[in-house]
A and B are shown apart, each in its own frame.
Chain A
Amino acid sequence: MEITELINPENIKLDLLSSAKEEAIGELAQLLFNSGFIKDKEEVVKAALIREKEFTTGVGLEVAIPHAKSSFVIKPGVAFGRSRKGLEWDTVDGLPPKLIFLIVVPTDAHDQHLQVLAQISRKIIHDDVREKLLQALEAESILETLK
């Protein structure tokens, strides 16, 4: 399967309006709601925040990967948002995250989707990938980088 089944230009916001964690997750969830990945924005945000309480998904490297596994998710997907000045987020290295990936998975996700999500997760670790994501001028080049 193609990564484009999980993330498309509609799920990408190059400049997030929010300045803090909860609103940013909401902003990204709205994208996923608009493009038909989830059926209830509030429930998905709630699931992501509950997950966040176990331990922060602000994994360092200016990256945060909030994720929600919920029955309110229609199909697995990823929304990407970028914040130039970084978000208020309790991260492991104290640096505010600039690259936010909201990952949503239905409770009965198939292996294939999970495998693609795993690939994306692995990509983000590399400095050149993050650099490109920070520099990208349009949604298409974000997609290209994550492929």
Chain B
Amino acid sequence: MKIVAITNCPTGIAHTYMAAEALEKAAKELGVEIKVETQGSIGVENELTTSDIAEAHSVLIASGVATDLSRFKDKAVIEWPVGKIINEAKEAVNAAINAKAKTPTGEVSEAQESFTDSLSHKGSGLLKHLFTGISYMIPIVATGGLLIAISFLWGLNPPEGSFGATINTLGGAALSFMIPIMTAFIAYSIADRPGIAPGLVMGYLSVNVIGAGFLGGIVGGLLAGYIALFLKKVKLPQALSGISVVLFIPLITTVVGGLLMIYVIGSPIAGLMTALNNALTNLSTTSMVILGAVMGLMTAFDMGGPFDKVAYTFSVGLLAEGITAPMAANMAAGMTPALGLALATVLFRNRFTQQEREAGKVAWALGACFITEGAIPFAASDPLRVLPATMLGSAVAGALSMLFGCTLAAPHGGIFAILIPKAVGNVLLYVLAIVIGAVVTALTVNFTKSIGKKS
């Protein structure tokens, strides 16, 4: 029999390790195998792998602080105060031995399955790192997105200095950290603390310097994490090893990762954006419906990345010339990803993890306000299955908006723009286009998420 355990405590100096040793000793005496992950001030050591957890009969948590239990969804979890476990190690291990395995509930196991499936598919813990990044990103997406949505209550363009504008600024501030937080915690998940600083920088570069959006952010986070992880294994002279974690690793990782981001990933993106812009200009002279569909594909493909940005800037540019139909198509396409996924979390609960279902509740509001970022937590955790669905839904919405001859005079606002009289031309058909797009997204994601599963 195997048991896995985690020990931690507020300062992470003594209890964490005493508890780990006490548990290992008690397990030896009781004749069970144990693996103890220590979460102390040194960082996480002896980390439990997915297969450790899968093999384990039960999980023992000796904790003095809040511990993330999401890794142990279908396992029996015994919790014991870390202050007592040193004296009561045997009792705790016995409790873990006697714990009855929780019968996995249908929905959880299915979500878990898709998770582990993709893990084995990718052959590494890649997804685990993405998940970590996303779970830290969700609160900031929700906070920033909802603040922007709330600011629309004061009108779409509140005057500078007004309360509405201030709330909007708060929301924008929060959203500007969205991708950096994700990349920082992807890197943290891979390389622990030394990954955070370079991860933040990669996120910033992706969004603000090379304009590569969340897909670039995922690449940047993985880059930062794996470079830092590699550097951790480099043996340094005694005198330098003290500053390795605080200076050497973050510095070198930032330089190497940053240069790769700017020159290897950034330069092609700049060329790509010019080419895309020319292509859209050509399209607009042929068929508006196809233009709408193409812009939809672009918007939903990278949600804030280069494709989306080209489509949006293109529409806003035409708006200045008084051509308002592309803007309408663009906004419809930007609203459907989050709305469609929110709808899917309700219609097809079993396809989503608990965390995604929570994110789904917020995604309703974000989608309705044309904050496409609400879909990113879903897309980042399973891009190959989610992006085709959001792209199809947005293409349909964009094409229908064009076909119905809808127009839009404001470059943002979502439902708030729709509610303003005369801001949207053919408003009822416009709403219909968005609803159809969202339904298409939800149905498609239900289908794509069924692909590649073991029965």
Chain B CB count within 10 A is highest, among A65, A93, A122, for: A122
Stretch of A17-25, A37-45, A111-119, A138-146 on the interface side:
A111-119
B245 touches A110 (CB 8 A): yes
Asked if A59 meets B13 with Cβ closer than 8 Å, knowing A65-B18, A114-B40, A125-B22, the reply is: no
CB distance from A105 to the nearest CB of B (A): 6
Of B14, B81, B86, B87, which contacts A103 at CB under 8 A?
Answer: B14
B86 touches A61 (CB 8 A): yes
Chain B positions near chain A (C-beta within 8 angstroms):
10-18, 20-22, 25, 38, 40-43, 64, 81, 83-84, 86-88, 241-246
Chain B's closest residue to A104 (CB) is B13
B15 adjacent to A114 (CB under 8 Å): no
Residues of A within 8 A of B38 (CB): 118
State in angstroms the CA–CA spacing of A105 and B22 once bound together: 23
Bound form: Cα–Cα A61–B25 in Å: 14
Min CB gap A31→B, angstroms: 18
Number of residue pairs spanning A and B whose beta carbons lie under 8 angstroms apart? 92
Q: Which residue of A lies closest to B40 (CB)?
A: A118
Cα distance A105–B41 in the bound complex, in angstroms: 11
Beta-carbon contact of A126 and B25 below 8 Å: yes
Interface of B is mostly: mixed
Q: Does A8 contact B (CB under 8 A)?
A: no
Contacts A55-B81, A67-B11 known; A125 to B18 CB distance under 8 Å? yes
Contacting pair A111 B64 (CB below 8 A): no
Does any Cβ of B come within 8 Å of A86's Cβ?
A: no
Question: Smallest Cβ distance from A130 to chain B, in angstroms?
Answer: 12
Contacts of B245 in A (CB 8 A): 110-111
The interface residues of chain A lying within 8 Å CB-to-CB of B22 are 125
The residue in chain B whose Cβ has the minimal distance to the Cβ of A59 is B86
Assess the B13–A115 pair: CB atoms within 8 A. Answer: no
Give Cα distance in the complex from A32 to B345, angstroms. 59
Question: What are the 7 closest A-B residue pairs judged by CB atoms, nearest first?
Answer: A60-B87, A122-B21, A118-B17, A121-B17, A59-B86, A55-B83, A125-B21
* Of A57, A92, A112, A126, the contact of B14 (CB 8 Å cutoff): A57
**A112: chain B residues within 8 A (beta carbon):** 241-242
A67 touches B84 (CB 8 A): no
Q: A61-B87, A118-B38, A124-B18 are in contact. List 19 more A-B contacts (CB 8 A).
A: A51-B11, A55-B64, A57-B14, A59-B15, A59-B87, A67-B14, A103-B13, A111-B244, A111-B245, A112-B242, A114-B12, A118-B17, A118-B42, A121-B13, A121-B16, A121-B17, A121-B21, A122-B20, A125-B21
User: Contact between A92 and B10 (Cβ–Cβ < 8 Å)?
Assistant: no
Give the secondary structure class of A's interface: mixed
The interface on chain A, measured as residues whose beta carbon lies within 8 A of the other chain's beta carbons, has a size of: 33
Q: Tell me if A13 is interfacial: C-beta within 8 Å of chain B.
A: no
Within 8 A of B (CB), among A11-69: 51, 54-57, 59-61, 63, 65, 67, 69
Contact A117 B13 (CB under 8 A): yes
- Name the A residues within 8 Å of B16 (CB-CB): 118, 121
In the complex with contacts A56-B83, A59-B86, A61-B87, A121-B42 CB distance below 8 A: no
Chain B contacts of A123 at CB under 8 A? Answer: 21
